[in-house]
Chain A
């Protein structure tokens, strides 16, 4: 195990985060604050409780998930796409490192950044709304799992992308709709029955539901199913990345 390499990649990636700390943090905090003002205070004041939780508090887990998923994906995809773009990927390919070490370095850093942003947003939420966290340990664990799994997804996107447009494409076309339709701002039970069934095919539903359960003890789907879904998603991403490095898809001739 080349631990030095993992550490080197991780530290290198985190340095970029610290270099751009203002833009890394200001924009998610600002956009979340806007959501709180618009949905929490303005519209939320006209909405009754959802599942026994005030609307302002109800959307907190969904908002955190929205930011964390987007940030994890874009951080990880950029992290591995940039060496492809500058050509410095030759160094990764010729270094005595295994695919797991490369992934651990890049995904570890991207997940850390996303986790950091998730926590900042949670702290921002405390400034607006009074919330109690029912299962804090489970909340942290689910948050970390989400950070890791979406960073893995981002890593795949970064390897797949042939240009900067494609890099933006998946987060914009896939992740944002899935998160919005995954119950970030509403309970699945509020949907008509047909849509409730369709929604169950959206993997993000399980993440948000599980995460919301850790806050309020209520969920759209059972927490066991949520955990299973996250684990399956993480395993699928890891499996795909393993295949990428085995075949050299898009990185090795």
Chain B
């Protein structure tokens, strides 16, 4: 796979000295869905705005399909569709005419059939001639997506697509995103909902305070999350781990009153039954058992906290 969007040493500092982006490096592969996860004010929107041309970078470069967004902005921007976080639409325009406006603005020749096709794809066909002001919030968000797709971009940026959207509509939005991916569009979305990243992304990037802390394949992240820990509380503290239990690679709490066993829930055998048998054989008496799973949320919260 080749990178369709390539961000190099991108910095954005505002006049007041606030550094919204601190040397961001990021390659986005063609055809993938990348979720940028981060708390409010992490720099997600600034990153997207800078790639799309709304915000001017302080330094660094961005290329889209090999075109520099500063020196060759026409070619670069022509490949990008942007769905902003805020619902920004002209209230008195009809759905069709506002989408047609977007297509023309991006220099594409008028093609009403194409626009109808996009509206149908987003289940907006029956709202075609309705004024924007009469639509519900969820529908307006779809109109924003339709506008962003009107010029048939190869890369789509969705800034918080499900902010302020109820659960049902959010699921709906995920389906829309899945369909877009199937049609070959590369999608970058920002979110602060971990479930959203888990549900639809191929890769997940965690961003905080203007830096990308981690960017990883979601499957790998899920594998990490597949790790579970079993804590065994002991009636009597043990000074060390009995040799018979060495193969379990147990961790002993400093006070010796509990042991922790890490296992993979995705593996064919967890090894819990034999461990419990072996513990008994070794003469250790258990008072309690506890399991816990590290989630994307734990990783996320952990990283963001570390940074703070």
**Using a CB–CB distance below 8 Å, which chain A residues touch chain B?**
2-5, 7-9, 11-12, 15, 82-83, 86-88, 90-97, 248, 252-253
In the docked arrangement, what's the CA distance between A82 and B234, Å?
A: 70
With a CB–CB cut-off of 8 A, which chain B residues contact A248? Answer: 56
Say whether A8 contacts B90, CB under 8 Å.
no
Smallest CB separation, A96 vs chain B (Å): 4
Question: Is B82 in the interface zone, CB < 8 Å from A?
Answer: yes
CA gap between A8 and B86 in the complex, in Å: 24
**Which one of B88, B91, B102, B107 contacts A2 once the chains associate, using CB atoms below 8 Å?**
B107
Mark interface residues in B188-219 (1 if CB within 8 Å of A CB, else 0): 00000000000000000000000000000000
Determine whether the beta carbon of A5 is less than 8 Å from that of B55.
Answer: no
Distance of B237 from chain A, by nearest CB (Å):
60
Contacts known (A5-B104, A5-B107); A96 close to B91, Cβ less than 8 A: no
B31 to chain A, nearest CB (A): 22
Interface code B214-228, partner A: CB below 8 Å = 1, 0 otherwise? 000000000000000
In the complex, whether B101 has a CB less than 8 A from a CB of chain A is yes
Would A91 and B102 be within 8 Å (CB), given that A86-B88, A86-B89, A86-B90 are in contact? yes
Q: What are 14 sample pairs from A and B whose C-beta atoms fall under 8 A apart?
A: A4-B108, A5-B105, A7-B104, A12-B97, A87-B87, A88-B89, A91-B88, A91-B102, A93-B54, A94-B53, A95-B106, A97-B105, A252-B54, A252-B55
| Interface contacts beyond A12-B97, A96-B107, A252-B54: sample of 12 additional A-B pairs, CB < 8 Å, sorted by A | A2-B74, A3-B107, A5-B106, A8-B101, A8-B103, A88-B89, A91-B82, A91-B88, A252-B55, A253-B49, A253-B55, A253-B56
- Asked if residues B53 and A93 are in contact (CB atoms below 8 Å), the reply is yes
Report whether B105 and A8 are in contact in the complex, using a CB–CB cutoff of 8 Å.
yes
| Contact status A94-B107, CB under 8 Å | no
> Could you say which of A82, A86, A87, A92 contacts B105, with CB atoms under 8 Å apart?
A92
Q: Which residue of B lies closest to A7 (CB)?
A: B104
Indicate whether A86 sits within 8 Å of B91 (C-beta atoms), given known contacts A93-B54, A96-B73. Answer: yes
Give every chain B residue within 8 A of A252 (Cβ-Cβ). Answer: 54-56
Report the separation of the CA atoms of residues A253 and B18 in the bound assembly, to the nearest whole angstrom: 13
Cα distance A8–B73 in the bound complex, in angstroms: 19
Quote the shortest CB–CB distance from B13 to chain A (angstroms): 11
Contact yes or no, A12 B107, CB < 8 A: no
Contacts of A7 in B (CB 8 A): 104
Establish whether residues B56 and A96, one from each chain, have CB atoms under 8 Å apart when the complex forms.
Answer: no
Q: A248 to B12, alpha carbons, bound, how many Å?
A: 15
Q: Does B75 lie at the interface of the complex (its beta carbon under 8 Å from any beta carbon of A)?
A: yes
Across the interface, which residues of B come within 8 angstroms of A12, CB to CB? 97, 101
Q: Report which B residues bind A (CB closer than 8 A).
A: 14, 49, 52-56, 73-78, 80, 82, 84, 86-91, 97, 101-109, 147
Task: Give chain A residues whose Cβ lies under 8 Å from the Cβ of B53.
Answer: 93-94
Q: B90 to chain A: which residues have CB within 8 Å?
A: 82-83, 86, 88
For B14, the chain A residues whose CB sits under 8 A away are 253
* Distance (whole angstroms) from the CB of A253 to the closest CB of chain B: 5
A82 CA to B91 CA in the complex, in Å?
A: 11
| Chain A residues near B75 (CB-CB < 8 A) | 96
Q: A11 vs B105: C-alpha distance in the bound complex, in angstroms?
A: 11
Residue of B74, B86, B107 with most chain A CB atoms under a 10 A cut-off: B107
**Complex Cα gap A246–B109 (Å):** 28
Query: How many contacts A-B (CB < 8 Å)?
Result: 75
**Closest CB in chain A relative to B113 CB, distance in Å:** 17
- B19 to nearest A CB, angstroms? 14
Given contacts A8-B101, A94-B54, contact A87 B86 (CB under 8 A): yes
In this complex, the member of A4, A87, A93, A94 whose beta carbon has the largest number of chain B beta carbons within 10 angstroms is A94
| Assembly CA distance A93 to B49 (angstroms) | 10
A11 to B191 Cα, complex, angstroms: 36
Asked if B105 and A91 sit within 8 Å, CB to CB, the answer is: yes
The smallest C-beta distance from A88 to any residue of chain B, in angstroms, reads 5
Q: Is the CB of A96 within 8 A of B82?
A: no
Which residues of B are found within 8 Å of A5, using beta-carbon distances?
104-107
Closest Cβ of chain A: how far from B275's Cβ, in Å? 57
In the bound complex, do residue B80 and residue A94 qualify as a contact, i.e. CB atoms below 8 Å apart? yes
Residue pair B56, A95 in contact (C-beta under 8 Å): no
Among A8, A82, A91, point to the contact of B147 (Cβ < 8 A). Answer: A91
A9 and B106 CA atoms in complex are apart in Å by 11
Pairwise interchain contact A95-B77, C-beta atoms closer than 8 A: yes
Q: What residues on B are CB-neighbors of A88 within 8 Å?
A: 88-90
**Docked CA distance A8–B101 (Å):** 6
Give the residues in chain B near A15, CB-CB below 8 Å.
Answer: 97
Chain A residues with Cβ below 8 Å from B54 are: 90, 93-94, 252-253
- Across the interface, do A94 and B55 meet the contact criterion of CB distance under 8 Å? no
- A residues near B102, Cβ cutoff 8 Å: 91
Selected from B86, B89, B97, B105, the residue in CB contact (under 8 A) with A95 is: B105
Question: Is the pair B86, A96 in contact by a Cβ cutoff of 8 Å?
Answer: no
Contact B104 A4 (CB under 8 A): yes
Q: Which residues of B contact A8 (CB under 8 A)?
A: 101, 103-105
Expressed in whole angstroms, the Cα–Cα distance for A91 and B49 within the complex equals 11
Instruction: State A5–B101 Cα separation when bound (angstroms).
Output: 9
Cα-based distance from A248 to B15 in the complex (angstroms): 13
